């Protein structure tokens, strides 16, 4: 199973982070399956790639450490594909979403840590 994680601290009011992340995921061709005030789960839409390569994205917004202007988000991107190649499909989606979050015009990136 391929699995990539990253953590971001962004400067945005806490009440705006969830709708902005949902919008970003949808604009990235991901279908938001489930969300709460602190969690979002989205999946790739079937049809263009094999089922085992379909990526799931989980976003956890840490409201316990959030301030009025800063929010920490932890992102997990995974699929059932064995990561036998460095540049596998899951890694490509991870790199794309990481870039989208880092360059998003709706907030200012303060910190980005990949794991």
Over residues 25-34, the mean pLDDT reads: 95
pLDDT exceeds cutoff 80 at 63: yes
Reduced to 3 states (helix: H, G, I; strand: E, B; else coil), residue 3 is strand
pLDDT exceeds cutoff 80 at 47: yes
Residue 91's CATH number: 3.30.310.80
Cβ–Cβ < 8 Å for 45, 80: no
Q: What is the pTM of this model?
A: 0.90
pLDDT exceeds cutoff 90 at 38: yes
Structural domain tally of the chain? Answer: 1
Cβ–Cβ < 8 Å for 96, 30: no
pLDDT band at 87 (very low <50, low <70, confident <90, very high): confident
Residues making up the chain, counted from first to last: 115
The tokens for 48 are 């263009």
Cβ–Cβ < 8 Å for 56, 77: yes
Other Cβ atoms within 10 Å of 27 Cβ, number:
9
Q: CA 20: distance to chain centroid?
A: 12
Q: Which domain does 42 fall in, by range?
A: 2-114
What confidence score (pLDDT) does residue 50 get?
87
């Amino acid at each position: 199973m391929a699995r990539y994680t990253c953590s971001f601290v962004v400067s945005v009011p806490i009440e705006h982070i969830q709708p902005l992340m949902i919008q970003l995921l949808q604009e990235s061709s991901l279908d938001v399956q489930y969300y709460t005030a602190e969690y979002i789960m989205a999946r790739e839409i079937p049809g263009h790639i094999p089922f085992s390569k379909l990526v799931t994205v989980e976003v956890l917004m840490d409201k316990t450490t959030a301030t009025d202007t800063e929010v920490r988000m932890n992102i997990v991107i995974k699929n059932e594909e064995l990561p036998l190649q460095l540049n596998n499909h899951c890694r490509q989606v991870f790199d794309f979403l990481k870039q989208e979050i880092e360059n998003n015009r709706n907030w200012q990136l303060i910190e980005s840590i990949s794991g």
